[in-house]
A and B are shown apart, each in its own frame.
Chain A
Amino acid sequence: MRQVTIALSKGRLTKYSVDLFKKCGIECEGLTADTRKLIIESKNSDYRFLLVKPSDVPTYVEYGIADVGIAGKDTIMESKTSVYEMLDLGFGKCSVCIAGFEQSAKKNITANSLRVATKYPNIAKEYFMEKENIEIIKLNGSVELAPLLGLSDVILDIVETGITLKENGLIILERVCDVSARVIVNRVSLKIKLYEINELLLKIKQVIKEEEEQA
């Protein structure tokens, strides 16, 4: 069997991903949610795991450095990479939303486009493309701050529980799409490591099915 390299997101999805591969029966002692290692090999060397920044998972997969990756749908959409999106894992569920004040402040006449603060400029661009002209303000965190301080009119961000929004006096104005963790596969790997990857996908599918039945 040829080794399959799997890129995992460090952060929100790490714990779920680690559990998933345990349930798939892959023996890999080093693979824990709090590991500091960046490359971890399974006991029989069938699999190799990479722990990378969430937004980098699609990149590793697109370039074929990793054959398979686990990443949030939001990250995949934002990355605009060309990979196969093969399975919905059902965990890491949340939605991409437009949020802002319930009653929008009186807009300045000289403000000609809606200012959208976001970590996801590509998603924002695509979503508003057919709707209206926007000015994208790219932020890297605490996006909720932007409308509070007048840096933007609204935000586009992922919303899990909505608590952060609520605590900052913001509400969801529009739901862009629902997102969850996905399995992505490199286009060439799927052909060349056909057997190995199909086997892995089957195992994952089985786990998802069992989980669904339990729930």
Chain B
Amino acid sequence: MSISIKKNIPNGVQDYAPLECKNKRSVEESLRKNFELWGYNEVQTPAFEYYDVFAHGIGSYRQEKLIKFIDSDGRILALRPDLTLPIARLVTSTHKDLTFPLRFFYIDDAFGFDNPSARDQRQFTQAGIELIGESSPYADAEVIAMAIESLQVAGLTHFTIDIGQVDYFKGLIEEANLTDKQGEQLRKGIDTKNMIDVENILSDSKIKGELKEKILELPFLYGGEEVLEKAKEFATNERSRRAVENVGKIYEALCSYGYERYLSIDFSMLQEIEYYTGMIFKGYVMELGSPLLGGGRYDSLLAEFGYSSPSTGFALSMKSILIALEKQSGFKENINIDVVVGHDEISSKEAFKFMQKHRSEGKRAASAMGTSCEEILVYAKKIGAKEVYYIKNNQIEAIK
């Protein structure tokens, strides 16, 4: 028996029916407007590029995570798994013509397998910004402030932004003289707060005394402002000390902007530490089991493409925002039609004129394809129309 899958869609993609689509576009529009107000300019990059852009070095993807196909000349192409790598490529190849610092934003789809930040989606819309050519903590504070404002303009009221700093950990690892492998094991243990693993790794290594105690405390270095004090106490090496100082400045700046209530600090947040070089952050809501946005400083990425420049930014998952929004406060936008107009054979011109008049006033007007007034009223009710007219012999009559 052959199965007809013509009606179906593959795993990891979705249709956006009118109501969800409308609200998605509305959120995108709010974000776009806000990004622009902050002086950011929108860029678009191709949906697919040479596989090489995504395949090697810092920020690269494992082969099996990319959706690939073959170009007519035999080269491998891949659908973009994120927007940051294409922008890094764009900036590197055109930097001579650009004025730094660059403020870029994007709202576009990315593609890939098993993207944890996009649940099980294989095509997912991301909105994000990149601030390129600025290394000060105020650049990082700007990016986080924009992440907070993005969630606000999207309509979310309750959320948390968790700020970390990968350099703090890197400083401790240097101090401890660990091998790369031990360091990676330790990173994993601390990031997942697996204390048993952390203790085992430490007892296998030569780390003793005070330093051991500090690393054992690391998984618990999260919370409010008090964490900064504690982290400062622990930071005996230069790199870790500077990392705490850096987060301190960012945190202080954000508090002075009035965002304190959204913030928390977590020095044990240690994901993608190859990619990120300084501050990192993630955004959470109670309604979702995974972060809905993430970002940080990635100063070494552009050098991968041949032009070195400090960079910071974030990306948010549009689907996660929509799910959270629907759960927190429900969707704001509806797809109702304002005016419905029915007409007889001879009044089509009059009906057209009448509807155009409403449209010019910003009302949504649609013609009713029914013959009787009853039919038109039923249709009008279903699509939420407040005004219903019937035009007979070029005479307009309000029937609701």
Contacts and interface: CB of A to CB of B under 8 A. Distances in A.
Interface string B1-39: 001110111000011010110010000000000000000
A110 interface: yes
B331 interface: yes
B14 A112 contact: yes
Contacts, number: 30
Contact of B5 (A108, A110, A130, A135): A130
A109 B20 CA distance: 6
Interface in B325-349: 326-327, 331
Interface in A118-136: 129-130, 132-133, 135
Dominant secondary structure of chain B at its interface with chain A: loop
B390 to A, nearest CB: 33
A118 to B, nearest CB: 16
Contact of A129 (B3, B23, B331): B3
A147 B326 CA distance: 20
Given A129-B3, A130-B3, A135-B120, A109 B8 contact: no
A126 to B, nearest CB: 8
Contact of A108 (B4, B8, B327): B327
B319 interface: yes
B9 A133 contact: yes
A130 B4 contact: yes
B319 A110 contact: yes
Dominant secondary structure of chain A at its interface with chain B: loop
Contacts of B322: 110
A80 to B, nearest CB: 14
A108 B330 CA distance: 9
B323 interface: yes
A63 B250 CA distance: 62
B20 A129 contact: no
B18 to A, nearest CB: 10
A108 B323 CA distance: 8
A110 B3 contact: no
Interface in A133-149: 133, 135
A110 B323 contact: yes
Contacts of A112: 14-15, 20
Given A130-B4, A130-B7, A135-B120, A109 B14 contact: no
A110 B326 contact: yes
A132 B8 CA distance: 7
Contacts of A129: 3, 5, 8
A124 to B, nearest CB: 13
Contacts of A110: 20, 319, 322-323, 326
A39 B30 CA distance: 68
A112 B9 CA distance: 11
Nearest to A131: B7
Interface string B304-327: 000000000000000100110011
A110 B321 CA distance: 10
Contacts of B323: 108, 110
Interface in A79-126: 108-110, 112-113
Nearest to A135: B120
A113 B327 CA distance: 17
Nearest to A128: B8
Given A133-B9, A135-B120, A109 B326 contact: yes
* In the complex, the 3 A-B pairs of residues with the closest C-beta atoms, listed nearest first: A112-B14, A110-B323, A110-B322
Interface of B: 3-5, 7-9, 14-15, 17, 19-20, 23, 120, 319, 322-323, 326-327, 331
Given A109-B23, A110-B326, A112-B14, 8 more contacts: A109-B19, A109-B20, A109-B331, A110-B323, A129-B5, A130-B7, A130-B8, A133-B8
